[in-house]
Amino acid sequence: MKNTHHLKYLIKSQAFRFERLLLEDVDNSPVFDFHSHEIANQEICFFHRNISNGNQYFHALHDLIRQGMALKKSTPVVRFADGEYAFYDYSLDCNGLYQQAESVNSIKEAMPLHIEALKVLAKSGKFTPLIHPGNVHQERKRLFSFFRKSKGDDSALKFIDFLYDYNIELTNENYLPFYVVYAYLTSKSFGNLVNEKKICIISSKCDMDACKQWFARFHSYPNILFIEIPDSYVATRWKSMKEKTLSRIPSDIDLCLVGAGIGSLLVCVDVAEKFSIPTLDAGHVLNMINGREDKSGGPRLYTIHKQKNE
């Protein structure tokens, strides 16, 4: 597969730029204290030229989900980061906190299904890849000269090239920054939206009491249904578990939160298409909702909101 470095073209054409993602009520300082200030470079995100600030992205996601629920519209929202980048590079480095692929051959066998889902996502949903100066480190020249030291790799570069090789391009219509999803799912705006709605959590574990307590903090009381899937190999075995999983989802569901690792793409797209609803790849936020932030190795950026005086 030819490396085109399409991200470089997107920047040179001024379709996208790098800019710090600032959200009005988010406080990342506790995350820096827990981990390291080195992750601050991940606050620098990919912005489309038509977007002036981070709050605009946040409100765009809220409007997208609100309209998807109101109009019964297929709206998958899927995040992509290190594990996905390795998977689409046919590398077993995709196996991290959870086992995602049994072998390189299993990745190859599953890839046509993933490519098909990626194309659907590009047309009906949102890509939310983690793109920051630390993972587009192929060329040091002047492209990211505002960073004196930029440790990282070229995994995001390769992922964008992978998409482009299959005629999938990031646009203002199908792209959101990765951390906007975290910020939105942990916000009062989302809690208010799902109050008294019927939502489905598809994941390997769910502590219903913890979930209800999480939403109650926002004075939100959704009707939550949990559907269990394996904690491993959904990315390569979804085809064998798809029909059984979909058959358990009621037709009047309003929204779905998915935690399936790299398999979240397939789950989100298929559920959104079948039930005409928003489906969000929630990942770490589901661990937070279940009171198990520790399973993600601690807090993540854009998940801690400033306390407002009521």
Nearest Cα residue to 53 out of 7, 27, 20, 26: 20
* pLDDT score for 38: 85
Q: Strand, helix or coil at 294? A: helix
Number of domains in the chain: 1
Average pLDDT, the chain: 92
* pLDDT score for 150: 45
In a domain, 67, yes or no: yes
* Buried-exposed string 84-106: b where 16+ CB fall within 10 A, e elsewhere: bbbbbbeeeebbeebbbbbeeeb
Contacts of 113 (CB under 8 A, 6+ apart): 238, 239, 266
DSSP 100: -
* pLDDT score for 145: 42
* pLDDT score for 95: 94
The domain containing residue 182 runs over which residues?
Answer: 6-296
* pLDDT score for 236: 98
Tokens of 263: 């398999």
In a domain, 184, yes or no: yes
Asked whether the predicted pLDDT for residue 263 surpasses 60, the reply is yes
* pLDDT score for 308: 66
In a domain, 304, yes or no: no
In a domain, 252, yes or no: yes
- Express each pLDDT in 224-250 by its tens digit: 999 999 999 999 999 999 999 999 999
Q: Strand, helix or coil at 114? A: helix
* pLDDT score for 36: 87
In a domain, 305, yes or no: no
* pLDDT score for 148: 42
Nearest Cα residue to 80 out of 64, 59, 94: 94
Measured from the Cβ of residue 225, the count of other Cβ atoms closer than 10 Å reads: 17
Amino acid symbol at 239: K
In a domain, 1, yes or no: no
- Express each pLDDT in 58-87 by its tens digit: 999 999 999 999 999 999 999 999 999 999
- Express each pLDDT in 149-179 by its tens digit: 444 589 999 999 999 999 999 999 999 999 9
Amino acid symbol at 187: S
Nearest Cα residue to 235 out of 61, 135, 68, 109: 109
* Chain centroid to CA 71: 23
For the four alpha carbons of 81, 8, 47 and 305, in that order, the dihedral sign comes to positive
135 contacts 151 by C-beta, under 8 angstroms: no
- Express each pLDDT in 113-158 by its tens digit: 999 999 999 999 999 999 999 999 754 444 444 344 444 589 999 9
In a domain, 221, yes or no: yes
Nearest Cα residue to 191 out of 150, 145, 224: 224
In a domain, 22, yes or no: yes
200 contacts 255 by C-beta, under 8 angstroms: yes
Residue with more model confidence, 5 or 82: 82
Asked whether the predicted pLDDT for residue 44 surpasses 50, the reply is yes
d(CA 216, CA 116): 38
Least confident of 127-136, 271-280, 296-305: 296-305
DSSP states along 156-194: HHHHHHHHHHTT----TTTB--HHHHHHHHTSHHHHHHH
**Percent of the chain scoring above 90 in pLDDT:** 85
